[in-house]
Structure 1
Amino acid sequence: MSTRKEILLTQLRACQNQDGWFAPLSIVLRGLTAEQAAKRGGQSENSIIGIVHHLVFWNERYLQKFKQGFVSPLGISNAKTFKNIDSDEITEDWNNLRQRLDNVFAQWEEAISNCDEAKLDSRISPKSDEFWWSALAHLAIHNAYHIGQIVYIRKEQGLWKTWGNIG
C-alpha cells in the first residue's frame, strides 16, 4: 500500500519531469525561447512566462509555509502573480525563472521525502481546516492544470506538434 508521502511524490514528479499521463514541465518548457515564452497565445490571457511566474510564486510560498510554518500576508492579488514580461531583460529573466522552478520542485521533493507522516496529517495553520496532505495534493493539481495551459498556448503558437516531437 502506498503512503500519502509516496503519492504526493509521484504527483510532484509527474508535474516536474516524469513521463506519465500528461507531459511534465521539463517537456512542455523544452526548447522555448524567452520571446516565445513571453508571447500570449491567441485566446490566452497569460503568456507561458506569466504562468511559470505564477507556479513559482505559489510553490515557493507553500514551501516556505511547509518548512517554516508561516508566510507573510499575501500583498498582491492572485492575478498579479502571473507576471508577464515585455522587456529587454526577458532572456535573463526566463533563464532565471526556469531555474527557480526547477529549484522549488527539487526542494519540494526533498521536503516531502524527509518529512514524517505526522507533518502531512497536521493542519497547514492553526486557523485552517485543511491538512498538509490535502494542500499538497491540491498544489499538484494546480501545477498540472497550468501545465495544460502551457501546452494549449504552445499549440496556439504552432510550437507543439505531438508530445514526443516538440521544441
Structure 2
Amino acid sequence: MLTSVKEVLLDQLAACHDDESWFKPSKTILNDVSVNDAVWKAENYPHSICEIAHHLIFWNEMWLNRFINDDLYEKSNTTNDETFELDHRKQNEASWNETIRRLSNGFVHWREVITNCDDSKLEKRIPSYFNAQWWGVISNLCIHNAYHIGQMMLLKKQVQKYRS
C-alpha cells in the first residue's frame, strides 16, 4: 500500500520535533540547553540557538496560521533577517523555556491540523505563492526546520566544547 501525502508530512513533522530517527529532533536537542548556552554565539557564526529557534517559530506559526485560515499567500512585512533578531540581554530561563514551549507546540499543532484536515486541503494551490500546493509548502517547511535543527545541534556541540 502506498503512503499518503498526509502520512509523509506527519512523519516529517515528527522527525523534526520528537522522533529519534535519522537525526536528533528539536525536542532532544533543546532538552538540556540552558539559556546561557542558547544565547551563546560561535565565533564567525551569525546566529545563536535561541535566535534560530525564534526564526523557526516565526515561519512555522506564520504558515500554520495561513493554512488554518485558508489565507492565500500574502508577503510578510517582516524580513527573514528580522526573524533572527533577539535582545540577548532580555533572555532568562523563563523566556528560554517559553521559546522551547512555543517551538514544540508549533510542531504539535501542525501535526494536529494535518491529521484532521481533508486531503483536498493539502492538494489546494496557492496562486500567489508560485502556484504551489499546500502539501509542497508544508514539506518544504519541514526541510527548512530540519536544516536549522542541524544548525542548533552543531551549535550545541560547539558550546559544550567551549564551556568545557
What percent of counterpart residues are identical? 36
Larger mean Cα displacement after TM superposition, 151-160 or 33-42: 151-160
Quick check: 2:123–2:135 contact (8 Å CA) kept in 1? Answer: yes
- RMSD of equivalent CA atoms: 1.7
TM-score (norm 2): 0.90
Q: 1:69 to 1:51 in 2, by over 3 A?
A: same
- Structure-2 separation of matches of 1:104 and 1:46: 21
TM-score (norm 1): 0.89
- 2:15 matches 1:14: yes
Consecutive unaligned residues in structure 1, runs of 5 or more: 161-167
Map 1:74-93 to 2 at 5 A.
74-93=76-95
User: Of the candidates 145, 149, 157, which is equivalent to residue 147 of structure 1?
Assistant: 149
Q: 4+ residue stretches of structure 1 with deviation over 3 A?
A: none
- 2:46 matches 1:68: no
> 1:102-152: CA deviations, max 9, x gaps?
1111110000000111011001x3323100010011000000000110011
Map 1:124-143 to 2 at 5 A.
125-128=126-129, 129-143=131-145
Consecutive unaligned residues in structure 2, runs of 5 or more: none
Point out the structure with the larger helix share: 2
Aligned partner of residue 105 in structure 2, secondary structure: helix
Larger mean Cα displacement after TM superposition, 86-95 or 112-121: 86-95
* Counterpart residue type for residue 83 of structure 1: E
Q: Following TM superposition, by how much is the alpha carbon of 1:30 offset from its aligned partner in structure 2, in angstroms?
A: 1.4
Q: 1:42 to 1:119 in 2, by over 3 A?
A: same
